Copies of this chain bind each other. A is one copy, B any other.
Amino acid sequence: MKAIPFADQLILPDLQTSGIIALSGGADSVCLTRVLCQMGCRPVLAHLNHQLRGNESDRDAAFVVQLARAENLTLELDSVDVKSRTEEASLENVCRGIRYEFLLRVARKHHASWVATGHTADDQAETVIHRILRGTGLQGLQGISPKRMLGENVEVIRPLLKVTRSEIEAYLQQLGQSFCSDSSNLDSQFTRNRIRHKILPVLKEESPALVELLGRLAEQAGEVQNYLGGLAESALRDCEAARAGRTIVIKRKLLPSNDVLLKEMVRLLWIRENWSAGDMTQNHWSSLVAMIRDGQARADFPGRIRIINDGRVLLLEPF
């Protein structure tokens, strides 16, 4: 058996518990499968056919069946007609949503505690660049999390997040392991592909270690964001009173005195309440903080959330 050359860069799940691998058939998830098997793990493979690339999608599904057989692993295969369910523009997001629903379903069925995906250091770099180009704060600079909860007791984990695509391809070649290529990765109508094929090469010419540097930046942003999140949680506990139905009640006198912390605290509240945090821009958060500080009587925010400054308390509610 060949040693795994990037073994010390792996972010491993608990190999003693059962887990799922999200297997597209591409180099990254095929590598992930081979690596985890080599480490003595017996994951269940999960493949969702999005039916977006005609014969190519079917070829990928057939490849995955073969790989499962070769590795003697259980395979959960499903198929969905995404195209009929969505518009072109939001296609990527819709696919992601459907895919993670499927993965959670498979995890539940097999009593798995983790779902591993094949995201690489290059994916991380592309995500960070994408966020920067779209406009981001510290929150977005974290890029892809190495681990996050997918549902109760089920975690998504990215074992290859510190391994580069070229390390992965070299390893597969060494194993003589084939994999599928996704022709839509070349389609320049997707921002992601323009970043991969046009923007990153220009940046790497100036900074050959860029993928690693962006990975470290994302990691540091994650550490700081995590620390701030903890402080914000504790600040929220200090100033939140019992809720009145759908209305959140905050004691103004106990609000954190620092604006960075206050902004983080209200963001946390938005996420906890499932209000549409995604529709709040940096400007919205800043003006929310300003209105709380100024004692401005009332303002409405995206997602139909109303804030009322009512003397000693601050009321936040959907309307």
Stretch at the interface among A55-63, A75-83, A152-160, A218-226: A218-226
CB-based contact B202/A260 at 8 Å: no
Known: A199-B202, A202-B198. A137 touches B191 (CB 8 A): no
A193-247 residues at the B interface, CB under 8 angstroms? 194-195, 198-199, 202-203, 206-207, 209-210, 213-214, 216-217, 220-221, 223-224, 226-228, 230
Question: Nearest Cβ distance between residue A125 and chain B, in whole angstroms?
Answer: 11
Residues of the B chain whose Cβ atoms lie less than 8 Å from the Cβ of A220:
137-138, 282
CB-based contact B133/A207 at 8 Å: yes
Partner of A216, one of B135, B207, B221: B135
Question: Nearest Cβ distance between residue A42 and chain B, in whole angstroms?
Answer: 34
A223 to B135, CA, bound (A): 17
Please state the number of chain copies in the assembly.
Answer: 2
Tell yes or no: A132 within 8 A of B by CB.
Answer: yes
Q: How many residues on chain A are close to B (CB under 8 Å)? A: 36
Known: A132-B214, A136-B217, A282-B216. A260 touches B206 (CB 8 A): no
Give the 9 A-B CB pairs with smallest separation, nearest first: A133-B207, A135-B213, A227-B260, A137-B220, A202-B202, A223-B260, A133-B206, A224-B260, A227-B258
Known: A134-B207, A134-B213, A223-B260. 4 other contacts (CB 8 A): A135-B216, A194-B206, A199-B203, A220-B282
* 12 chain-A/chain-B pairs, Cβ below 8 angstroms: A132-B132, A132-B217, A133-B210, A135-B216, A136-B217, A137-B216, A138-B220, A195-B206, A199-B202, A223-B260, A224-B228, A227-B260
